[in-house]
Amino acid sequence: MQKIIAHWRKIIYGLLGLKLLAMLVLPIGGDFLYGWTYETGFVVRTLVAGKLPALSTYGVYIGIEMILAPFYWIWTKLPIQHPAVMSIVQHTAPAVSLGFLMEIPIILFDTATLVLLLRIVRHITNSEQKAIVAGLTWFGNPYNFYMLYFFGAMDIIPIAIFLLAIDLELEGRWFRCGIATMASGLLRLFAFAAYPFFIPLTKNNRNRINFILGSAIPVVFAIGLLYLSHDTLATVFNIPAQEFWLLEFLGFSVLGMQFVKWSVVLVILQLYVVARFWRAETNIVYLASVSLLALLLGATLYGGEAQHFLWVCPLLSACVAMHPEDAWIYALTFFTALISPTVNPFHPWTPEPRVLDTFLAGAFYAMKATYLLRLNLWSTSTRP
């Protein structure tokens, strides 16, 4: 272990090289990368025509697609053929260049996540060694590698922004922390589950006001863009009707009650546990981890779609660095994540009937629940 930590920079550079190679070699057909590329193409065409893409047309991922747009636009300027994404032939110059360009944001934000993790864990533990463990368990984690470079999970963009919020919180920059948290939430809803968990750490009214004011800025910015693109707030309210799958965040119904949703109940109960039982000197990494794990346990039967677990991965890396004695929970959680039916890269080729699916999904769910319980125990004092 000491040897690995001593050569951590070389390992990071090696992993970086491997990831760059993967970007060049892997086809653009990855489940999500293809979808992102396809949708971004429309956004770029709208922007090039001098219009702002509208939420009502492009849906809730418009924010991430706007971030991806410059990379797609660069591809359109390359002196090569530019076939439509649907008819692109794999391993040709247009496909390779497009795949590589569209994965640049992934590697940029993946690396930013690494840097932020190093900073966060160093800040909390005052230990260079623990920071390196956190960095390596993130950057070298096969689950993350698969989700980012095979799957093309652009969730890494809001994740990195969310980690930036955590870093800013640790530095006591509450205004900027508010901006980053809200910006992350506007790109992907997950960060909203963690939002109330920041509040107990504000300690005084000044910080609280700064945090809330900071949070208002991305909202105002988003509303401005909304109206500039000729949409209204009604468009936002109609999103759940158009994109019904968004409601999977709410989870399944509790005790057969139609409107009582598991993930909302779990997050609120976790907030109660934090407010009542957690030690005052706890840190935001634990708070953010439990909020996201609670959300994942609630959302959908599998406890979140494949790419959703990615949200909590950097935080779990920080946790394992801070509590190496419980590394087995970390290892088992990621092992079960990799073999769970919604993630398992070999799943499509496993023979029917898939008798093991429920077992594997249950094992992953159980490990997330265990991690949630363990985090609560780390942070809770039950001394009389």
Partner 1 sequence: MLVAVAAAVKLILSALSPASIDLTKIIMLVASGQAPMGPWVALYPPLYNETAANINQLQAWSSMAPFGSNPNFAMLSLLFRLPVFLCDLATMIVLFWIGKKMKSSAEGRLMSLVWFLNPFSFFGVELLCLPDILCILLVSLSFLLLISERPLLSAAALGLGSFVKLFPIFLLPPLLMYMRLNGARRRSLLSVTFVGVLGLFGYLAWVLPYGFEYLVTPTPVTQLVSFVGGVANTVNSVTFGMFAYYCLQFIFMKKTGPLPMLLSALLAYYLFAVPGPQYLIWVLALMAVDIAFADHLKAWIVSSLLVAVFLQWFLVSSAFLTPSGYSFLMFPLAGPSLPSYSVAIGEFLDSRLVGIIIMPLVSSLTFALTLAYTAEQIRSWFSVPPTK
Contacting residues toward partner 1, per CB under 8 A: 237-238, 240-241, 244, 247, 250, 254-257, 259-261, 264-266, 268-269, 272, 275-280, 380-384
Minimum CB separation of residue 298 from partner 1 in Å reads: 9
Q: Which SS3 state, helix, strand or coil, does residue 4 take?
A: helix
Residue closer to partner 1 (CB basis): 348 or 384: 384
* Whole-number Å distance between alpha carbons of 318 and 290: 13
Q: How far is the CB of 175 from partner 1 (least distance, A)?
A: 26
| Min dist. Cβ of residue 275 to partner 1 (A) | 6
First to last CA, the chain: 39
Neighbours of 234 (CB within 10 A): 8
In the bound complex, what is the minimum distance in angstroms from residue 79's beta carbon to partner 1? 48
**Residue 375 near residue 278 (C-beta atoms within 8 A):** no
Q: Distance between alpha carbon 262 and the CA centroid of its chain, in Å? A: 21
Element housing 257 (H / E): strand 257-261
CB of 64 to partner 1, least distance (A): 22
Q: What is the DSSP letter of 304?
A: S
∠ at Cα 266 (264, 271), nearest 5°? 95
Token reading at 104 = 């640049």
Nearer to partner 1, 264 or 339 (CB): 264
CA–CA separation, 119 vs 132, rounded Å? 10
**In the bound complex, what is the minimum distance in angstroms from residue 136's beta carbon to partner 1?**
34
User: Cβ distance 263 to 251 under 8 Å?
Assistant: yes
Judged by beta carbon, residue 237 or residue 349, the one nearer partner 1 is 237
Compute CA distances 247 → 41, 93, 268, 328, whole Å: 26, 39, 17, 33
Peptide bond into 353 cis (omega under 30): yes
For the bound state, the minimum distance from the C-beta of residue 238 to partner 1, rounded and expressed in Å, comes to: 8
Of 107 and 226, CB closest to partner 1: 226
Residue 124 sits at φ, ψ, to 5 deg, of -75, -45
DSSP label of 380: B
Pairing of strands 257-261, 253-254: antiparallel
Compute the C-alpha angle 314/319/322, nearest 5°. Answer: 130
- Residue number, 85 or 266, with CB nearest to partner 1: 266
Instruction: Pick the closer one to partner 1 by CB: 36 or 198.
Output: 198
Residue 16 or 254: the one with the smaller Cβ distance to partner 1 is 254
Type of residue at 344: N
**Between residues 247 and 327, which has the closer beta carbon with respect to partner 1?**
247
Phi, psi of 258, rounded to the nearest 5 degrees = -55, -40
Least distance in angstroms from the C-beta of 282 to partner 1: 10
Q: Which is nearer to partner 1, 18 or 275 (CB)?
A: 275
Nearer to partner 1, 256 or 348 (CB): 256
CB of 365 to partner 1, least distance (A): 20
Nearest distance in Å: CB 255, partner 1: 6
Quote the Cα angle for 42-43-48, to 5°: 100
